Amino acid sequence: MPRIIDPHVDAMIITRFKSGESTRSIAKGLGKSIQTVYNTLERGGVDLKRRSVSEKQRARLIDLCKRGMSVSRAATWSGMSPSTATRVIREYRHSGGALTLQKGRRERRPSSSILPASREAPTQQTRPPLFYLGVSIDWASHERVVDVPLFISFRKLRTRRRLPDIATHFALDSGGFTELQMNGRWTISAHEYAEKVRKMISFYKSKLMWVAPQDWMCEPIILAGGHVRGVGRFIGTGLTVEEHQTRTVRNFAELRAEVGDRVIPVLQGFHLHEYQRCAQMYLDAGFDLTQEPVVGLGTVCRRQATSEAEVIVRALARDGVRLHGFGFKKTGLIACGDALVSADSMAWTVDARYQPPLPGHEYPGPGRSRGHARCSNCIEFALAWRDSLIARLENRKRGRHLE
Ligand SMILES: [Zn+2]
Q: What is the pLDDT of residues 169-190, one digit of tens each?
A: 999 999 999 999 999 999 999 9
- Using the mean position of ligand 1's atoms as its centre, give its distance from the Cα of residue 187 in Å: 36
Q: What is the 3-state secondary structure (H, E, C) of 28-85?
A: HHHCCCHHHHHHHHHHCCCCCCCCCCCHHHHHHHHHHHHCCCCHHHHHHHHCCCHHHH
Measured in Å, residue 388 CA sits from the centre of ligand 1 at 16
3-state secondary structure of 179: helix
Interval between CA 96 and ligand 1 midpoint (Å) = 72
Three-class SS state of 170 = strand
Alpha carbons 158 and 200: distance in angstroms, whole number? 9
pTM of the model: 0.69
Higher per-residue pLDDT: 394 or 191: 191
Distance from the CA of 359 to the center of ligand 1, in angstroms?
Answer: 8
Q: 297 by DSSP, 3-state: which?
A: strand
Distance 140 CA to ligand 1 centre (A): 17
Residue 341 CA to ligand 1 centre (angstroms): 30
pLDDT of res. 123: 42
Q: Provide the Cα torsion 189, 281, 27, 229; round to 10°.
A: 0
For 66-106, the pLDDT digits (tens) are 877 778 777 766 777 778 888 888 888 888 888 777 554 44
Report CA(362)–ligand 1 centroid distance (Å).
Answer: 8
Using the mean position of ligand 1's atoms as its centre, give its distance from the Cα of residue 209 in Å: 29
Calculate the CA 115 to chain-centre distance. 17
> Is the pLDDT reported for residue 118 higher than 60?
no
Measured in angstroms, how far is the CA atom of residue 139 from the centroid of ligand 1? 14
2 band by pLDDT with thresholds 50, 70 and 90: very low
Cα(372) to ligand 1 centroid in Å equals 6
Ligand 1: centre distance to CA 330 (Å): 20
The tens digit of pLDDT for each residue in 216-269 reads: 999 999 999 999 888 899 999 999 999 999 999 999 999 999 999 999 999 999
CA–CA separation, 21 vs 23, rounded Å? 7
pLDDT digits (tens, 9 = 90+) for 29-75: 778 888 888 888 888 887 776 566 778 788 888 887 887 777 877 77
Give the Å distance between the CA of 366 and the centre of ligand 1.
Answer: 11
**375 C-alpha vs ligand 1 centroid, how far in Å?**
4
Mean of pLDDT over the chain: 85
* Centre of ligand 1 from the C-alpha of residue 242, in Å: 44
Gap from CA of 360 to ligand 1 centroid (Å): 8
- DSSP string over 97-165: ---PPP-SS-----TT-SS--SSPPPSS-SSPPEEEEE--GGGTT-GGGTTS-EEEEHHHHTT-SSPPP
Q: How far is the CA of 373 from the centre of ligand 1 (A)?
A: 8
- Kindly give the distance from the C-alpha atom of residue 170 to the centroid of ligand 1, in angstroms, as a whole number: 23
Q: What does the radius of gyration of the chain's CA atoms come to, in whole angstroms?
A: 23
d(CA 315, CA 323): 11
d(CA 358, CA 337): 27
Q: What is the 3-state secondary structure (H, E, C) of 339-372?
A: HEEEEEECHHHHHHHCCCCCCCCCCCECCECCCC
Ligand 1 midpoint to CA 333 (Å): 24
- For the chain, residues classed under CATH 3.20.20 are 130-346
- Rounded to the nearest whole angstrom, what is the distance from the C-alpha of residue 363 to the centroid of ligand 1? 9
Q: How many whole angstroms separate alpha carbon 322 and alpha carbon 126?
A: 12
Rounded Cα gap, residues 259 and 350, in angstroms: 34
Residue 349: phi and psi, rounded to 5, are: -65, -35
Return d(Cα 43, Cα 112) in angstroms, integer. 42
* C-alpha 168 – ligand 1 centre gap (Å): 22
Class of domain 130-346: alpha beta
The pLDDT of residue 125: 54
